[in-house]
Amino acid sequence: MTWTSAQTTAVLAPIIAILGAALVALLTYGLNRRAARRERRALAFGEALSVVEDYAEMPYRIRRRSGSADGRQKLTEEVSRIYSRLAFHQALLDIEAPVVASAYRHLANEAKAEVGEQMKTAWQKPVRTTDAEMNLEHHYGRDRVDAARDHCVATMRAALGQRP
């Protein structure tokens, strides 16, 4: 008996279908992993930026403090927690995205310099005691923090494969 082209087709068709299905499955798996990694990184980047924003709000919280020893204690503990979170996110970015980590380090340093001075000044101001005094007439400048944040966000977007 001779091998015919019909028999060749009958054997090759299922093999090609199986290989095609395997290729599609591998491609889908790879794309899903890539999307999950991107989503995980975007979340980590957002959380890291959130800590800097929490830190930048501290001068306002200090100016609106209650004046009690307990209130001072809570604010100083919050600053300590923020420093700890900044260090955590810096280490995570050092591991996950070194280029982003450099931009984040610059952002954190600019925030510590600019906001740190503002917090020092805020602690020296008198305690506000009435509801009307809680409206602050003076806003703290954030030029250095904003410029560093913009650079950091651009670096994060590039790391995520987004165009500016």
pLDDT tens-digit profile of 14-61? 888 888 888 888 888 878 777 778 888 999 999 999 999 999 999 999
Per-position DSSP letters for the chain, written without gaps between them:
----HHHHHHHHHHHHHHHHHHHHHHHHHHHHHHHHHHHHHHHHHHHHHHHHHHHHTHHHHHHT---SHHHHHHHHHHHHHHHHHHHHHHHHHHHH-HHHHHHHHHHHHHHHHHHHHHHHHHHHSPPP-STGGGS-S-PPP-HHHHHHHHHHHHHHHHHTT---
| The pLDDT value given to residue 164 | 60
| pLDDT, the chain, mean | 90
